Structure 1
Amino acid sequence: MLGSVEYHALFVDGTLHIGATPRCSVLDVSPLMREIIQALSESYSPDSRRQQMMMDLLVEEISSAEKRSVALPMPSERRLRALCDALLEDVGSTHSLADWARKIGASERTLARLFQTELNTTFSAWRQQARLSHAVDMISRGTPMLTVATELGYSDTAAFSTMFKRAFGSTPSQFKATRALPGHQV
Protein backbone atom coordinates (compact mmCIF):
# COMPACT_ATOMS: atom_id res chain seq x y z
CA MET A 1 0.00 0.00 0.00
CA LEU A 2 1.16 3.48 -0.74
CA GLY A 3 0.66 6.39 1.63
CA SER A 4 -1.52 6.48 4.70
CA VAL A 5 -4.34 4.00 4.99
CA GLU A 6 -7.03 3.24 7.52
CA TYR A 7 -7.37 -0.43 8.29
CA HIS A 8 -10.30 -2.31 9.77
CA ALA A 9 -10.25 -6.10 10.11
CA LEU A 10 -13.62 -7.72 9.53
CA PHE A 11 -14.12 -11.37 10.32
CA VAL A 12 -16.98 -12.84 8.33
CA ASP A 13 -18.50 -16.26 8.95
CA GLY A 14 -16.86 -18.64 6.49
CA THR A 15 -20.16 -20.34 5.73
CA LEU A 16 -21.52 -17.17 4.14
CA HIS A 17 -21.16 -16.90 0.39
CA ILE A 18 -19.69 -13.50 -0.38
CA GLY A 19 -18.88 -12.69 -3.99
CA ALA A 20 -17.95 -15.03 -6.79
CA THR A 21 -14.47 -16.05 -5.65
CA PRO A 22 -13.03 -16.95 -2.25
CA ARG A 23 -9.74 -15.18 -3.15
CA CYS A 24 -8.38 -12.10 -1.49
CA SER A 25 -9.44 -9.04 -3.45
CA VAL A 26 -9.63 -5.28 -3.29
CA LEU A 27 -13.15 -3.90 -3.21
CA ASP A 28 -14.55 -0.51 -4.03
CA VAL A 29 -15.88 0.63 -0.65
CA SER A 30 -19.17 2.49 -1.07
CA PRO A 31 -20.04 5.35 1.29
CA LEU A 32 -22.69 3.09 2.89
CA MET A 33 -20.17 0.29 3.43
CA ARG A 34 -17.67 2.76 4.91
CA GLU A 35 -20.25 4.06 7.39
CA ILE A 36 -21.33 0.55 8.43
CA ILE A 37 -17.70 -0.46 9.00
CA GLN A 38 -17.08 2.70 11.00
CA ALA A 39 -20.18 2.14 13.15
CA LEU A 40 -19.29 -1.50 13.79
CA SER A 41 -15.69 -0.64 14.65
CA GLU A 42 -16.73 1.84 17.35
CA SER A 43 -18.52 -0.76 19.42
CA TYR A 44 -19.63 -4.25 18.57
CA SER A 45 -21.90 -6.55 20.47
CA PRO A 46 -22.91 -9.71 18.58
CA ASP A 47 -26.10 -9.93 20.64
CA SER A 48 -27.36 -6.55 19.44
CA ARG A 49 -30.21 -6.80 16.91
CA ARG A 50 -29.17 -3.48 15.34
CA GLN A 51 -25.57 -4.60 14.91
CA GLN A 52 -26.65 -7.95 13.47
CA MET A 53 -28.75 -6.07 10.92
CA MET A 54 -25.74 -3.89 10.08
CA MET A 55 -23.63 -7.03 9.63
CA ASP A 56 -26.25 -8.51 7.31
CA LEU A 57 -26.30 -5.31 5.27
CA LEU A 58 -22.50 -5.21 5.21
CA VAL A 59 -22.37 -8.79 3.88
CA GLU A 60 -24.85 -7.78 1.17
CA GLU A 61 -22.75 -4.70 0.29
CA ILE A 62 -19.56 -6.77 0.13
CA SER A 63 -21.29 -9.26 -2.17
CA SER A 64 -22.25 -6.55 -4.63
CA ALA A 65 -19.10 -4.41 -4.34
CA GLU A 66 -17.06 -3.90 -7.46
CA LYS A 67 -13.68 -5.62 -7.42
CA ARG A 68 -10.66 -3.41 -8.14
CA SER A 69 -7.41 -4.46 -9.69
CA VAL A 70 -4.87 -2.36 -7.87
CA ALA A 71 -2.38 -5.02 -6.96
CA LEU A 72 1.17 -4.22 -7.98
CA PRO A 73 3.13 -7.46 -8.16
CA MET A 74 6.85 -7.25 -7.47
CA PRO A 75 9.43 -9.51 -9.11
CA SER A 76 12.17 -11.53 -7.46
CA GLU A 77 14.62 -11.55 -10.40
CA ARG A 78 17.33 -9.00 -9.51
CA ARG A 79 17.42 -7.02 -12.78
CA LEU A 80 13.65 -6.76 -13.04
CA ARG A 81 13.43 -5.90 -9.34
CA ALA A 82 15.96 -3.09 -9.85
CA LEU A 83 13.85 -1.73 -12.73
CA CYS A 84 10.58 -1.92 -10.77
CA ASP A 85 12.15 -0.31 -7.70
CA ALA A 86 13.51 2.52 -9.88
CA LEU A 87 10.08 3.03 -11.44
CA LEU A 88 8.46 3.23 -8.02
CA GLU A 89 11.05 5.84 -6.99
CA ASP A 90 10.26 7.90 -10.10
CA VAL A 91 6.77 6.80 -11.14
CA GLY A 92 6.53 9.68 -13.61
CA SER A 93 9.56 8.52 -15.57
CA THR A 94 9.00 8.48 -19.32
CA HIS A 95 11.99 6.22 -20.06
CA SER A 96 11.21 3.43 -22.50
CA LEU A 97 11.95 -0.21 -21.84
CA ALA A 98 14.98 0.15 -24.14
CA ASP A 99 16.23 3.05 -21.98
CA TRP A 100 15.79 0.98 -18.82
CA ALA A 101 17.52 -2.01 -20.45
CA ARG A 102 20.65 0.09 -21.02
CA LYS A 103 20.55 1.36 -17.41
CA ILE A 104 19.93 -2.07 -15.88
CA GLY A 105 22.42 -3.95 -18.04
CA ALA A 106 20.00 -6.34 -19.71
CA SER A 107 18.55 -6.52 -23.18
CA GLU A 108 15.14 -5.01 -23.87
CA ARG A 109 13.97 -8.44 -24.99
CA THR A 110 15.13 -10.05 -21.74
CA LEU A 111 13.29 -7.47 -19.64
CA ALA A 112 10.13 -7.86 -21.73
CA ARG A 113 10.31 -11.64 -21.25
CA LEU A 114 10.89 -11.23 -17.49
CA PHE A 115 7.82 -8.98 -17.19
CA GLN A 116 5.77 -11.74 -18.83
CA THR A 117 7.23 -14.71 -16.93
CA GLU A 118 7.60 -13.12 -13.48
CA LEU A 119 4.68 -10.71 -13.40
CA ASN A 120 2.37 -11.97 -16.16
CA THR A 121 2.14 -8.48 -17.66
CA THR A 122 3.95 -6.04 -19.91
CA PHE A 123 6.28 -3.21 -18.98
CA SER A 124 3.76 -0.54 -19.98
CA ALA A 125 0.87 -2.25 -18.14
CA TRP A 126 2.98 -2.60 -14.96
CA ARG A 127 4.10 1.03 -15.15
CA GLN A 128 0.49 2.17 -15.61
CA GLN A 129 -0.59 0.11 -12.58
CA ALA A 130 2.21 1.71 -10.54
CA ARG A 131 1.01 5.14 -11.67
CA LEU A 132 -2.59 4.29 -10.77
CA SER A 133 -1.52 3.16 -7.29
CA HIS A 134 0.32 6.42 -6.75
CA ALA A 135 -2.59 8.41 -8.20
CA VAL A 136 -5.07 6.89 -5.74
CA ASP A 137 -2.75 7.70 -2.83
CA MET A 138 -2.11 11.27 -3.98
CA ILE A 139 -5.77 12.00 -4.72
CA SER A 140 -6.81 10.54 -1.35
CA ARG A 141 -4.36 12.93 0.35
CA GLY A 142 -5.89 15.91 -1.47
CA THR A 143 -3.05 16.56 -3.91
CA PRO A 144 -4.18 18.94 -6.69
CA MET A 145 -4.92 17.16 -10.00
CA LEU A 146 -2.31 19.14 -11.95
CA THR A 147 0.35 18.06 -9.45
CA VAL A 148 -0.80 14.42 -9.64
CA ALA A 149 -0.77 14.46 -13.46
CA THR A 150 2.65 16.11 -13.62
CA GLU A 151 4.27 13.83 -11.04
CA LEU A 152 2.92 10.77 -12.86
CA GLY A 153 4.40 11.83 -16.19
CA TYR A 154 1.28 13.10 -17.95
CA SER A 155 1.48 16.22 -20.10
CA ASP A 156 -1.80 17.61 -18.78
CA THR A 157 -4.71 16.81 -16.48
CA ALA A 158 -6.96 15.78 -19.40
CA ALA A 159 -4.62 12.95 -20.43
CA PHE A 160 -4.34 11.82 -16.82
CA SER A 161 -8.10 12.03 -16.27
CA THR A 162 -8.78 9.94 -19.40
CA MET A 163 -6.41 7.19 -18.25
CA PHE A 164 -7.83 7.26 -14.72
CA LYS A 165 -11.43 7.06 -15.94
CA ARG A 166 -10.58 4.15 -18.26
CA ALA A 167 -9.05 2.26 -15.32
CA PHE A 168 -11.54 3.09 -12.54
CA GLY A 169 -14.73 4.04 -14.34
CA SER A 170 -14.83 7.51 -12.81
CA THR A 171 -12.87 10.71 -13.18
CA PRO A 172 -10.30 11.62 -10.54
CA SER A 173 -12.66 14.33 -9.25
CA GLN A 174 -15.54 11.86 -8.92
CA PHE A 175 -13.21 9.38 -7.22
CA LYS A 176 -12.06 12.06 -4.76
CA ALA A 177 -15.65 13.15 -4.03
CA THR A 178 -16.75 9.60 -3.10
CA ARG A 179 -13.93 9.38 -0.57
CA ALA A 180 -14.30 12.82 0.98
CA LEU A 181 -16.61 11.98 3.84
CA PRO A 182 -16.30 14.24 6.89
CA GLY A 183 -14.16 12.75 9.63
CA HIS A 184 -12.88 9.87 7.52
CA GLN A 185 -9.57 9.23 5.88
CA VAL A 186 -9.03 6.73 3.11
Structure 2
Amino acid sequence: MSHTDPHQQSDSTALEAMVRRNALLESRIQRLEDIEEIKSLHRRYIRKLADRDWEGMADFFTEDAVTDIRWHGRTEGKKQLVEEVFDELHSLVKSADGYVLSSPVIELAAGAVQAYGEWTWHRHICEFRTTGGLMRVWGPWLEGRYKCHYERVDGRWKFKDMWFRVVLPDADPGHDEMQERLAVAGTQPHRTGTGLIRRDQDAPGDARP
Protein backbone atom coordinates (compact mmCIF):
# COMPACT_ATOMS: atom_id res chain seq x y z
CA MET A 1 0.00 0.00 0.00
CA SER A 2 1.53 3.27 -1.13
CA HIS A 3 1.50 6.38 0.95
CA THR A 4 1.78 9.95 -0.31
CA ASP A 5 4.44 11.94 1.40
CA PRO A 6 2.58 14.96 2.90
CA HIS A 7 5.72 17.06 2.55
CA GLN A 8 5.92 16.35 -1.20
CA GLN A 9 2.22 17.14 -1.63
CA SER A 10 2.65 20.41 0.25
CA ASP A 11 5.66 21.36 -1.87
CA SER A 12 3.74 20.61 -5.07
CA THR A 13 0.77 22.72 -3.97
CA ALA A 14 3.06 25.60 -3.03
CA LEU A 15 4.82 25.39 -6.40
CA GLU A 16 1.53 25.48 -8.31
CA ALA A 17 0.40 28.48 -6.29
CA MET A 18 3.68 30.26 -7.01
CA VAL A 19 3.35 29.58 -10.75
CA ARG A 20 -0.19 31.00 -10.78
CA ARG A 21 0.91 34.01 -8.77
CA ASN A 22 3.84 34.68 -11.10
CA ALA A 23 1.59 34.40 -14.16
CA LEU A 24 -0.83 36.89 -12.60
CA LEU A 25 1.98 39.29 -11.77
CA GLU A 26 3.39 39.03 -15.31
CA SER A 27 -0.07 39.77 -16.72
CA ARG A 28 -0.45 42.81 -14.48
CA ILE A 29 3.02 44.09 -15.35
CA GLN A 30 2.34 43.68 -19.08
CA ARG A 31 -0.93 45.59 -18.71
CA LEU A 32 0.84 48.46 -16.94
CA GLU A 33 3.55 48.51 -19.61
CA ASP A 34 0.90 48.59 -22.35
CA ILE A 35 -0.87 51.50 -20.66
CA GLU A 36 2.40 53.43 -20.44
CA GLU A 37 3.11 52.72 -24.13
CA ILE A 38 -0.34 54.04 -25.04
CA LYS A 39 0.24 57.18 -22.99
CA SER A 40 3.60 57.63 -24.69
CA LEU A 41 1.96 57.21 -28.11
CA HIS A 42 -0.52 60.00 -27.47
CA ARG A 43 2.11 62.29 -25.97
CA ARG A 44 4.39 61.78 -28.97
CA TYR A 45 1.45 62.52 -31.26
CA ILE A 46 0.93 65.85 -29.47
CA ARG A 47 4.65 66.60 -29.70
CA LYS A 48 4.45 66.06 -33.48
CA LEU A 49 1.42 68.37 -33.55
CA ALA A 50 3.38 71.10 -31.77
CA ASP A 51 6.25 70.59 -34.23
CA ARG A 52 3.81 70.70 -37.19
CA ASP A 53 5.17 67.33 -38.29
CA TRP A 54 2.05 66.19 -40.14
CA GLU A 55 3.78 63.26 -41.83
CA GLY A 56 5.06 62.07 -38.49
CA MET A 57 1.57 62.30 -36.99
CA ALA A 58 0.17 60.00 -39.67
CA ASP A 59 2.58 57.23 -38.65
CA PHE A 60 0.73 56.84 -35.35
CA PHE A 61 -2.48 55.59 -37.03
CA THR A 62 -3.44 52.13 -38.29
CA GLU A 63 -4.01 51.79 -42.02
CA ASP A 64 -7.79 51.51 -41.49
CA ALA A 65 -8.08 54.18 -38.79
CA VAL A 66 -11.33 56.14 -38.46
CA THR A 67 -11.22 59.76 -37.30
CA ASP A 68 -13.66 62.56 -36.53
CA ILE A 69 -11.65 65.72 -35.83
CA ARG A 70 -13.83 68.81 -35.45
CA TRP A 71 -15.06 70.30 -38.72
CA HIS A 72 -12.80 68.06 -40.78
CA GLY A 73 -15.51 65.42 -40.31
CA ARG A 74 -15.17 61.69 -40.65
CA THR A 75 -12.27 60.01 -42.42
CA GLU A 76 -11.80 56.30 -43.02
CA GLY A 77 -8.28 54.98 -43.52
CA LYS A 78 -4.89 56.62 -43.13
CA LYS A 79 -4.81 57.68 -46.79
CA GLN A 80 -7.98 59.78 -46.48
CA LEU A 81 -6.80 61.19 -43.14
CA VAL A 82 -3.56 62.40 -44.72
CA GLU A 83 -5.19 63.80 -47.87
CA GLU A 84 -8.18 65.53 -46.24
CA VAL A 85 -6.78 66.59 -42.87
CA PHE A 86 -3.00 66.62 -42.55
CA ASP A 87 -2.28 67.89 -46.07
CA GLU A 88 -4.78 70.71 -45.52
CA LEU A 89 -3.24 71.61 -42.18
CA HIS A 90 0.24 71.56 -43.71
CA SER A 91 -0.72 74.26 -46.21
CA LEU A 92 -2.90 76.26 -43.80
CA VAL A 93 -1.30 76.35 -40.35
CA LYS A 94 1.77 78.55 -39.93
CA SER A 95 1.50 79.14 -36.18
CA ALA A 96 3.51 78.39 -33.05
CA ASP A 97 1.39 77.07 -30.19
CA GLY A 98 1.94 75.22 -26.94
CA TYR A 99 0.01 72.07 -26.00
CA VAL A 100 -0.72 70.28 -22.73
CA LEU A 101 -2.16 66.76 -22.64
CA SER A 102 -3.51 65.61 -19.27
CA SER A 103 -5.94 63.50 -17.23
CA PRO A 104 -5.63 60.24 -19.19
CA VAL A 105 -8.10 57.43 -18.50
CA ILE A 106 -6.98 54.22 -20.23
CA GLU A 107 -9.16 51.09 -20.27
CA LEU A 108 -7.28 47.92 -21.17
CA ALA A 109 -7.85 44.29 -20.24
CA ALA A 110 -4.83 42.11 -19.52
CA GLY A 111 -3.51 40.59 -22.73
CA ALA A 112 -5.80 42.68 -24.92
CA VAL A 113 -4.70 44.06 -28.30
CA GLN A 114 -7.19 46.94 -28.20
CA ALA A 115 -7.68 49.70 -25.64
CA TYR A 116 -9.78 52.81 -25.10
CA GLY A 117 -8.65 56.17 -23.77
CA GLU A 118 -9.89 59.67 -22.99
CA TRP A 119 -7.71 62.75 -22.55
CA THR A 120 -8.04 66.43 -21.74
CA TRP A 121 -6.18 68.73 -24.13
CA HIS A 122 -5.20 72.39 -23.82
CA ARG A 123 -3.75 74.67 -26.45
CA HIS A 124 -2.05 77.91 -25.52
CA ILE A 125 -2.04 80.21 -28.53
CA CYS A 126 1.24 81.98 -29.07
CA GLU A 127 0.33 83.25 -32.51
CA PHE A 128 -2.02 82.24 -35.28
CA ARG A 129 -0.64 83.00 -38.70
CA THR A 130 -2.03 81.42 -41.84
CA THR A 131 -1.46 81.92 -45.53
CA GLY A 132 -4.34 84.40 -45.30
CA GLY A 133 -2.61 86.52 -42.67
CA LEU A 134 -2.83 86.93 -38.91
CA MET A 135 -6.04 85.63 -37.31
CA ARG A 136 -7.42 85.80 -33.77
CA VAL A 137 -9.47 82.80 -32.72
CA TRP A 138 -11.55 82.75 -29.51
CA GLY A 139 -8.82 83.63 -27.03
CA PRO A 140 -5.40 82.71 -25.64
CA TRP A 141 -6.32 79.13 -24.74
CA LEU A 142 -8.64 76.28 -25.67
CA GLU A 143 -9.68 73.07 -23.93
CA GLY A 144 -10.62 69.92 -25.81
CA ARG A 145 -11.40 66.23 -25.38
CA TYR A 146 -9.94 63.19 -27.10
CA LYS A 147 -11.75 59.85 -27.21
CA CYS A 148 -9.71 57.15 -28.91
CA HIS A 149 -9.38 53.44 -29.48
CA TYR A 150 -5.88 52.05 -29.74
CA GLU A 151 -4.72 48.81 -31.36
CA ARG A 152 -1.48 46.87 -31.13
CA VAL A 153 -0.06 46.33 -34.62
CA ASP A 154 3.18 44.36 -35.03
CA GLY A 155 4.04 44.99 -31.41
CA ARG A 156 3.32 48.75 -31.53
CA TRP A 157 0.28 50.60 -30.20
CA LYS A 158 -1.43 52.87 -32.73
CA PHE A 159 -4.62 54.89 -33.03
CA LYS A 160 -7.49 52.74 -34.28
CA ASP A 161 -9.91 55.64 -34.15
CA MET A 162 -9.87 59.21 -32.85
CA TRP A 163 -12.65 61.65 -31.90
CA PHE A 164 -11.79 65.23 -30.93
CA ARG A 165 -13.80 68.31 -29.99
CA VAL A 166 -13.09 71.67 -28.33
CA VAL A 167 -15.27 72.25 -25.25
CA LEU A 168 -13.95 75.51 -23.69
CA PRO A 169 -14.06 78.48 -23.63
CA ASP A 170 -16.36 78.21 -26.66
CA ALA A 171 -17.62 74.70 -27.33
CA ASP A 172 -17.86 73.34 -30.84
CA PRO A 173 -21.50 73.54 -32.04
CA GLY A 174 -23.51 70.48 -31.21
CA HIS A 175 -21.00 69.24 -28.64
CA ASP A 176 -23.63 67.57 -26.46
CA GLU A 177 -24.97 65.62 -29.41
CA MET A 178 -21.47 64.68 -30.49
CA GLN A 179 -20.79 62.95 -27.17
CA GLU A 180 -22.56 59.83 -28.34
CA ARG A 181 -20.62 57.50 -30.65
CA LEU A 182 -21.89 54.61 -32.72
CA ALA A 183 -20.18 51.22 -32.71
CA VAL A 184 -20.25 48.00 -34.70
CA ALA A 185 -23.40 45.96 -34.03
CA GLY A 186 -24.64 48.49 -31.54
CA THR A 187 -21.93 47.85 -28.94
CA GLN A 188 -20.69 50.61 -26.68
CA PRO A 189 -17.41 51.84 -28.22
CA HIS A 190 -15.87 52.79 -24.88
CA ARG A 191 -16.35 49.26 -23.55
CA THR A 192 -16.08 46.75 -26.40
CA GLY A 193 -15.37 46.56 -30.09
CA THR A 194 -14.01 49.13 -32.46
CA GLY A 195 -15.90 52.39 -32.43
CA LEU A 196 -17.32 53.87 -35.60
CA ILE A 197 -17.28 57.59 -35.00
CA ARG A 198 -20.40 59.44 -36.10
CA ARG A 199 -19.95 62.52 -38.24
CA ASP A 200 -21.97 65.39 -36.84
CA GLN A 201 -22.61 68.96 -37.88
CA ASP A 202 -19.46 70.61 -39.11
CA ALA A 203 -18.06 73.18 -36.73
CA PRO A 204 -16.65 76.46 -38.04
CA GLY A 205 -13.51 77.96 -36.62
CA ASP A 206 -10.00 76.77 -36.03
CA ALA A 207 -9.07 73.63 -37.93
CA ARG A 208 -6.29 72.45 -35.70
CA PRO A 209 -6.71 69.21 -33.69
Larger helix share, 1 or 2: 1
Which is higher, the Rg of structure 1 or of structure 2?
2
Q: Structure 1-normalised TM-score?
A: 0.27
Larger strand share, 1 or 2: 2
